[in-house]
Structure 1
């Protein structure tokens, strides 16, 4: 029992620590290149929606904070990343519209119980759509561009640890299915990035 508790603690802490810097490699690559080549803004927006729904669902049902504490951190990092993509894509004026939509949407999620339950049912599909949007961007350009392989590797790790923590704590099947799907899709994106870095033409190489 003690060993199981220790493993759960390690999984929770390591996930939180990794998520604190998960988007940093991607942010640094963008800042250095000042180019959004290979990055899908649709993917990022869908990912943000998925994060917002997921953390709202967890807090609404009073799930243990260690099982979702990284999501506010990920949301903050994604917001920074979105602003950078809008900036370097010449669309910074759209940031106000995105802000209003996200804030209003976040508030509406908890107006009624059925809304947050329905949103959570869609959450896996929304998050999966975000990964497919990034994959489509890679397939179309055949260039990893400024996509950070390290960020996707870290994302794969955190979803893997969350499979374990979900089984060990809440056992929520909706959450578990989501993490299994995200692990597989994150890995798919990672392998695609590595493939196009090897076979494509990428102007910026990561260390």
Structure 2
């Protein structure tokens, strides 16, 4: 029974959470202070937790828009630039065969972000434009993931994430400042994105060793921190009620 239990545990942990040599080091030899293997376990566990959490990160934002039937306070340009950044990270990671635990949230955040893009267009009376945008995006994604796109283009797309993230977040920050409130911006989503980007600095260095990815998450954390600070600053600020025109 003990051997069967050990075999089952090994099948669960290897290679999802630990390489086989670290499994032996930690759970066979019971060397629980083996720092390199502990760092791998922490990074894998944290990475998979981020991926799992990403399934829900932007749903509060989606539901808030649907409930209000309005996308007031959201910058379409900012959301589109965020979509570019997520797409770049996802395509770059797939092309370089990085482990799913190091980038998987980009896939789920991309699906939620493109939904928000469509909802913003829809509630601005541009539904047809939104449908066309979805079709064009799907076509571009297929091309990027195909052998037709050279690696240098994928790398340039990933490098472009830095200005995309910075400009996108600054546009949202400027919109918040101009409006004097954060409108339909979801505080839950903002704080989850901030926490996730901070954690990704560690996991990207540990799992990929790619300084470009790590640098992008550093920039992203700073920008998400700015938006989170605005959410706190404008916490009690409410959008002004639109006055009906007197006849």
TM-score (norm 2): 0.77
1:117 and 2:155 are equivalent in the alignment: yes
Rg comparison, structure with higher value:
2
| Equivalent position to 1:201, from 238, 241, 245 | 238
Q: CA deviation at 1:119?
A: 1.3
Work out which structure has the larger RCO, using CA pairs closer than 8 Å and 6 or more positions apart in sequence.
1
1:89 and 2:124 are equivalent in the alignment: yes
1:68 and 2:103 are equivalent in the alignment: yes
In structure 2, C-alpha distance between the alignment counterparts of 1:28 and 1:120, rounded to whole Å:
30
- Assess if the C-alpha contact under 8 Å between 1:53 and 1:109 holds in 2: no
- How many aligned residue pairs are there? 203
User: Once superposed, which parts of structure 1, at least 4 consecutive aligned residues long, lie more than 4 Å away?
Assistant: none
In structure 2, C-alpha distance between the alignment counterparts of 1:120 and 1:5, rounded to whole Å:
25
Q: CA deviation at 1:108?
A: 4.3
* Cα offsets for 1:122-152 (capped at 9, x unmatched): 1121122211111111111111111111101
Q: CA deviation at 1:51?
A: 0.8
| Equivalent position to 1:187, from 220, 225, 235 | 225
- Per the alignment, residue 20 of structure 1 pairs with 55
TM-score (norm 1): 0.91
> RMSD over aligned Cα, in angstroms?
1.8
- Per the alignment, residue 191 of structure 2 pairs with 153
- Assess if the C-alpha contact under 8 Å between 1:109 and 1:119 holds in 2: no
- Per the alignment, residue 10 of structure 1 pairs with 45
| Equivalent position to 1:46, from 73, 81, 84 | 81
1:173 and 2:211 are equivalent in the alignment: yes
In structure 1, C-alpha distance between the alignment counterparts of 2:159 and 2:111, rounded to whole Å:
24
- Per the alignment, residue 130 of structure 1 pairs with 168
CA 1:13–1:114 in 2, change beyond 3 Å: closer, same or farther? closer
- Assess if the C-alpha contact under 8 Å between 1:145 and 1:202 holds in 2: yes
- Assess if the C-alpha contact under 8 Å between 2:118 and 2:134 holds in 1: no
Q: CA deviation at 1:176?
A: 0.7
Gaps of 5+ in 1: none
* Cα offsets for 1:15-36 (capped at 9, x unmatched): 1122110001111111111111
In structure 2, C-alpha distance between the alignment counterparts of 1:16 and 1:112, rounded to whole Å:
28
